[in-house]
Amino acid sequence: MADIFEKCFDFTAVEEVKNKGVYPYFHALESRQDVEVMMEGKRRIMLGSNNYLGLTTHPEVIEAGLKALEQYGSGCSGSRFLNGTLDMHIQLEKELAEFLRKDEVVTFSTGFQSNLGIISAIVGRHDYVICDRENHASIYDGCKLSFGKMLRYKHADMEDLEKALQSVPESAGILIITDGVFSMGGDIANLPEIVRLARQYGARVMVDDAHGLGVIGEGGRGTASYFGLEDEVDIYMGTFSKSLASLGGYMAASERVANYVRHNSRPFIFSASITPASCATALAALKVLREHPELPENLRAISARARKGLIDRGVKIRMSDTPIIPIYTYDPDSTLIRAKQVYEAGVYVNPVLPPATAPTECLLRTSYMANLTEALVDEAVEIIADVLATPIAL
């Protein structure tokens, strides 16, 4: 009889990387998630966070969380379906629906769970779901949890998407799912062409806007707004853990679709609801965003400064128009070494390795916040450029 733990005992990759002294994960924060952090006893400039609007330290957001903790306690101890619905959950859904210009919003306990819950409820046994190859892992897992058939198209390749659509039987329902802003590359989906093809082939469209909300579009309303296609996208999915500085996720859709998901999504029905503090901080962050539509503009300006600084210093980057700026490091070993060198020099970035990239296209993912100062950006860019200009000792 085989031992089910054999795979665990044979998994030595972590020990091998640790022995080389370049293990890049689980660095411990000793301060708030901010533009500068204390991490393992040293100041680092944070270029590895998804806190795009810098609201995790905003006084109104923190105060809202503290008040909710005092008023409602630490948790709801039940699902939204039963005892876990607070009046504040309903308020968050109402205000977010108004902001996104959709009929209704359904909230989930995490962003990952949102994709699991939406896709598994919507995509049935005889349906097809068609995905960009670089979609987030939660989309893939949501497809696996559904009973439908998943087809993938080459990243951002609209001809390949059309081939996939042409292969679907006319009797089948089709849901096209794409990231709005792709989390590793920072590029924006070709939503106009996706919508055109969806119309032509009778498909519905879902956009994962986890990295789009607060980042692009009118007042930070996301990818559909960016292209003026808010009425053409059937489902928006997003998270509270990035621009809205909290924890949780959501689906924005028509009233009928939202009502169906509420009553048929197992990840929604059988999970505890968002904690009071998380709900309150998301609400407060949404309020700040609505009152300060210049925040996404500040984010774009600071990201453009970083992008120009890296290019001017000869750093090879993957071009984007978002606050996600990947730096090519090519192979896994070089990526791990460079990530450690940059970290030790005082900047935190995220190494991106297979399977998130091809083995020869590894990256250092840098991401920026609206409250970064020009001085901090310039300092970080100089550190990164100096590190990358130094040959790796073999």
Contact (CB, 8 A) for 350 and 25: no
Tokens of 222: 């996301």
Residue 242 annotated to the active site:
yes
3-state helix, strand, coil in the chain (%, to 5): 45, 20, 40
Catalytic: which of 58, 136, 242, 303? 242
CA distance 250 to 99: 13
**Given 114, 183, 241, 278, which residue is catalytic?**
183
Nearest to 363 by CA among 111, 172, 184, 141: 184
Close Cβ partners of 215 (under 8 Å, ≥ 6 residues apart): 52, 181, 222, 243, 296, 299, 322, 323
Tokens of 367: 């991401």
Within a 10 A sphere around the Cβ of 26, how many other Cβ atoms? 5
C-alpha–C-alpha distance, residues 70 and 253, integer Å: 32
Active site residue 183: yes
What angle separates helix 374-389 from helix 332-345, to the nearest 10 degrees?
130
Show the tokens assigned to 271: 């999970």
Distance in angstroms between the alpha carbons of the first and the last residue of the chain: 44
Length of the chain (residues): 394
Rounded CA-CA distance 257/206 in Å is 12
Q: Distance between CA atoms of 356 and 24, rounded to whole angstroms?
A: 15
Choosing from 138, 211, 303, 367, the catalytic residue is: 211
In DSSP notation, 309-332 reads HHHHTT--B---SSSEEEEEEESH
Residues forming the active site: 183, 211, 242
